Every structure is written in structure tokens, then in C-alpha cells.
Amino acid sequence: MKLQTHPAQIEWPPTPDGDYARRALSPLLLNGSAVFVQNGHVRMGVLSDGQVVLPITFDPAWHDTFTVSPVTHLAHYAAQELHKLAPPALDLAGQPLLKLLGLGLRRLGFERTVYVNNWLLSTNLYPHLTPGQLRAATHTLLQAFPDRPLAWRSLDPARHALLIGALEELGYVRVPSRLVTYQDPREAAFWKRSQLRTDASRTRVPVAENVPHQAFTDDDLRAALGLYQQLYLEKYSSYNPQFTLDFLRLARDEQVLELHGLRLNGELKAVRGSVRRAGVLTTPLFGYDLSAPQREGWYRRLSLNVLQDARREGLLVNASSGVGAFKRARGGVAVPEYTLVLAQHLPAPQRHAWHTLAALMEHLLLPLLIRHDL
């Protein structure tokens, strides 16, 4: 595995995945990640052995998105969620503690983490990786970053049991991050669920115009960005990736995401952007008009369209996290997602901090996530 930072130096594999990686990553390497993800001020590089491509990110800015910053994921995001969801008294007590946690993690070097296979999306899909490739990637990164933690996000036992086991043999530890939901629309029995039939009947009216990928104009992209921001940044958290218009242009022009929209009376009402890799489909770009009457069912429509696409292409759906009850009623199965972290080469205080965090998250946070369907 070789680590490079300029597209001309990278050995792009002569495969569809290699071509996708070249189209997706070259603009980020040349122009900087923050041009495309406003809260993703990271340095980037690419690991490649001519067969697989693994983007890496490191050195985020303070309060960057959770996809590039472990401190944001563990402290800042939690503080924002606490403010939105908790009773005022609990929020008042919890905010100073989470602020101290963030500062403590920063002092312990958590913000110096190097993320591997990080595409700046909420869910990173993985290619097939052999134990030898994992060992080679780890060796190369330890040579380049001998005093930093290494981390692989978006790993779960349902899809990555062998990969997780191989990383653990190299000394990585599991740190629980969230619950994600899988849906398998490839089987006929999946479509017999009453809720899916109800969704299909309820979303026939009003009749919406489908907007395929190639039909997206610049005005459509601006509208799509606004719909995403309404849902993921304003309703959920500003620590989600803040995609820019340049990113959506890249997604359209280089097919980094497959875009699909729904238009009503000339207005774009819903949008999604999907990624496919190794038999899995996920949708990191998702948004709809929150001011529209609920009876129009834009969330239902988008969700149903994702499942229909996956069925047609023979893919499993990683539906990411959130709205677990909605997804379970539509065949979803929740599984814990982990970040695999290598810290055994670090000084004792940092090493112990990561191992303690892993134990606390496994025995305290993960049961809480499962119990409350978070």
C-alpha cells in the first residue's frame, strides 16, 4: 500500500470502483475537502495497492462534522442532541460535562485520529479487503503517522465480521458508535409487509414527476441542497456533513452520487443521492420539503424509491441510523456499528483513554441505544 496526496501519483485500479474513486477523490485532493463539505476542513490522502483505494482524512478543525472528528462525534454532537431532546434541567447539567469531555478528548489527542476509508459521508461503504491489505494499510499508516490513532468507521458485524476480526488481530479495538438499519428488498417476502403496501397506496396522490440524475439542472441542485439542509442540518444536527453546491455539482457531473428527485407543480419537493459498493446501497444525501402537508408523504416516497431501486439492482440497503421504528415496520433490522481504533502504539494515557472509552461505550452507551432505539 502506498500513501499519496496528489491524483497524478495514485495508482487508480482499472476497475469500476477505481474509476469511481478517481472521479470522487481527485477534486477533493486538488481543491481541498472544505470546498465540498463546509464543515470538513481536513487534510486528505489516498492509500492504494493498485487493487483497492482507501481515502484517509486527518487534522480536522474544531467543531468539524462527526464524519471527520471523533471529538465531535463523542462530545459536540451529543451536546446538540441533549439540548434538543432532554428536559431543560438535564440539558443544563449535561452541557458543561460534555464541554469538558470534548476538551479532555482533545488534550488526549483524539482529534489527531487518522480515519481510513473515509469518504466524508455519514456511512462509508467498504470494498472487499483481505487481511494482507489491512495489514499493509496499517503498516503504511503507522510509518506515516507513528504518534496518531488509526480508525476505520462504519463497520458492523452483519456485513463486516471478517474485516472486524482481522483488524482486531492487528490490535484494533471496537468502539461502538451508533445503531444502523439494514433492509433486504431482494426477497419476495420482504414486499408482503402491510406497511410497504400502505406506503405504495398512500403515495400515489398527488402524482409527482420523477427527476432522474441526468435531468438535474443547477437550479435543481440548489433546491436539493436546501431540502437536505432543512432535514439534516436544521432538524437533526449541524454536525452532519454540510455539503456545498460544489459537492452536488460534483455528484451530478462525475456521478459520485446517483441523484433522484420528485417534483410537484414545478417545484422540487424531495431528493436523494445514493452510493453503491460491494452489493450495498446507502443514501447519504436525503431531503424533502418539511413544510409540505404530511399527507403528501415525501419521506415515505423517497424511502420506498430506495427500496425499489435496491430490489431492481439486487442490493442490500444500509438505511443508516435514526427513525428505527419506521424502518423496522418496513423490514429493517438494527445492528450496532463500530469504529475500529488502533491505539496500542501510543503513550499510555492515550492508549488507556481509548480502551476505557471502548469499554464504557460497549457496556453503557450501546445498551442505551438499543433500549431507546436511538
Q: What is the pLDDT of residue 87?
A: 84
Q: List, run by run, the mean pLDDT of 10-residue segments along the chain (374 residues).
A: 98 97 99 98 98 98 96 90 80 87 93 98 97 99 98 97 98 95 95 92 88 98 99 95 99 98 97 98 98 94 96 97 87 95 98 95 83 68
Q: What is the pLDDT of residue 137?
A: 99
Q: What is the pLDDT of residue 98?
A: 87
Sheet holding 114-116, edge to edge: 2-4, 43-48, 53-58, 114-116, 150-155, 333-342, 173-183, 316-318, 280-288, 267-277, 258-264, 209-211
Q: What is the dihedral of CA 299, 305, 308, 310, to 10 degrees?
A: -90
In angstroms, the CA 9 to CA 57 distance is 17
Burial 78-107 (b: 16+ CB within 10 A, else e): bbbebeeeeeeeeeeebeeebeebbeebbe
Phi/psi at 220 (nearest 5 deg)? -65, -40
Q: What spatial distance separates the first Cα and last Cα of the chain, rounded to whole Å?
A: 37
Q: How do 43-48 and 53-58 pair as beta strands?
A: antiparallel
Domain boundaries, the chain: 2-178+337-372, 182-333
Residue 114 grid coordinates: 487518522
CATH number of 182-333: 3.40.630.30
In angstroms, the CA 93 to CA 359 distance is 24
In angstroms, the CA 148 to CA 347 distance is 10
Q: What is the pLDDT of residue 372?
A: 67
Q: Give the CB-side neighbour count of residue 110, counting CA atoms within 13 A.
A: 25
Q: What is the pLDDT of residue 120?
A: 98
| Burial of 157 per CB tally in 10 Å (0-12, 13-18, 19+) | middle
Largest CA distance in the chain: 62
Q: What is the pLDDT of residue 88?
A: 87
